[in-house]
Structure 1
Amino acid sequence: MKRFLVVLSAVALTSSCGFAQSTAIVDIQQDFALIKREVAQLRLEVEQLRAENERLAQQLNQAQGSESAAQLAASLRSEFNSRDEAVKRDILNQVKRELEELTGQTNISLEKITRAINARPAASPQQTFSKDYPPTGVNHVVVSGDTLSAIARKYGSRVKWIQDANEIADPSRGLQVGMTIFVPKE
């Protein structure tokens, strides 16, 4: 059980790695809830066996006055012990199977998380911008439909100068409506 909690804790610590991890954690939590329900049901069965044992013990006490009390007592003890041992073995085997299955699923989930982390694309190289543009110019507020080339034509500037002055790496995505940009002019 400690091993399971350690594995569950390790999975919980990696939950910030993305969607794959959160899906794996949800799967693990569902499996853990299923195990808890099954253990609760097995506990109920053990309680029922204990109640039956108590009933049998009462029968034993009532039968002690008769000649066959010793035989009945031995029979009841034997029956109870065999049932008790069988239930214990069943519970332990079932919990062991569930934990092995959960451990396997956890390992698979951790492998998926590791692959997802290792599969992240490398960061694109940082683009450098030139300072080779006129220091004078005008400010322009971007409106819907503006492009760098249209703004350059409007003010008699160059697209490259506008890109460098405003550090716009991608001209098709670098402009936003309402944005104020500097337009260098000679």
Structure 2
Amino acid sequence: MKKIQLPNYPQSLPSHIDVRDFDLEDGRYVRVFMELDTEVKVGHFHLSAQAYEMTADGNFVTAPNGYPSRTERTTHTVMASALGDTAQLDDDWVRHDGQVSPETVIELQHVDQRPTEPASEYGVLVWDTTRNHAWRWAEGFADGTARAKVQDMLAILASSTVRSGLGFRRN
């Protein structure tokens, strides 16, 4: 699955809404709509997400009953105290909240501020000599959520032939 941007991508989205498109690399495409609840609820931010099957030209695929081919809308949470610290919505450097041994610190690249350039892979650590802690390159919470919704869509597509035989009549 590869992140892309399909035609007919929504324009002028409010800052609390994001859309991610994916090429499943087998002639199928998925668009994930995500909406961040701007209020903290019981110490958590809520991110609602729903995936839709798309065509290569950025149009919704219609399921046999006329609705768009889609997943359920689900809500995912991240602790409010973590967002911007040990978690970000997009891929970013976050404060590493695990143990770092003195031997590991010696082996890590030393920096004097949070890095601004992306790392080559998730999990890369650097040691911040100014703040005395490690920064870790991490997948964004929204990216992980979008990827999970694509997996939900794949499960629906894999069983759609079986499901299409259920109901009041067989066509």
Same fold (TM over 0.5): no
Greater relative contact order (Cα < 8 A, sep 6+): 1
Q: Which is helix-richer, 1 or 2? A: 1
Which has the greater radius of gyration? Answer: 1
Calculate the TM-score normalised by the size of structure 1: 0.29
Q: Which is strand-richer, 1 or 2? A: 2
